[in-house]
């Protein structure tokens, strides 16, 4: 049994990384869309911003549907590609709204955003 466990350890880790990256990409796509409804910044989005965000989010979800067998690195790469399109919109929106992007949900995903909370941080620790 120990030999079998060792034999499949790398495969299990790769599968876990793939599932994690898939969930991360999918959640990011939905988070982009939900950001447009944030009370603090929703009035700062132009119609062009909203259209672009919808398209970027749809692009990510469509890519994910068509690439279910992609590995975790490919999925992480796609997320970075989407971030490169989404982040400039959000930086402008945050500036226009006068909101510190470091305090917004998902700020850890922003290149100039704040640090992500520690992985062991509880919900109460974030306030």
Say what the pLDDT of residue 8 is.
84
Say what the pLDDT of residue 106 is.
52
pLDDT digits over 42-58, tens only?
Answer: 899 999 999 999 999 99
pLDDT digits over 68-81, tens only?
Answer: 889 999 999 999 99
Share of the chain above pLDDT 70, in %: 79
d(CA 83, CA 29): 10
The C-alpha R_g of the chain, in whole angstroms, comes to 17
Residue identified by tokens 């402008």 is 92
Domain assignments of the chain as residue spans, ordered by start: 43-99
Other C-beta atoms closer than 10 Å to the C-beta of 42 total: 13
Say what the pTM is. Answer: 0.71
Say what the pLDDT of residue 87 is.
94
């Amino acid at each position: 049994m120990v030999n079998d466990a060792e034999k499949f350890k790398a495969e299990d880790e790769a599968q876990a990384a793939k599932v994690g990256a898939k969930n991360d990409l999918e959640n990011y796509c939905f988070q982009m869309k939900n950001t447009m409804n944030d009370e603090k910044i929703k009035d700062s989005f132009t119609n062009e911003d909203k259209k672009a965000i919808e398209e970027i989010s749809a692009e990510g979800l469509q890519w994910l549907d068509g690439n279910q067998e992609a590995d975790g690195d490919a999925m992480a790469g796609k997320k970075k590609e989407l971030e490169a399109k989404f982040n400039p919109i959000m930086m402008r929106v945050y500036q226009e709204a006068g909101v510190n992007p470091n305090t917004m949900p998902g700020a850890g995903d922003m290149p100039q955003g704040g640090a992500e909370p520690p992985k062991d941080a509880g919900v109460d620790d974030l306030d």
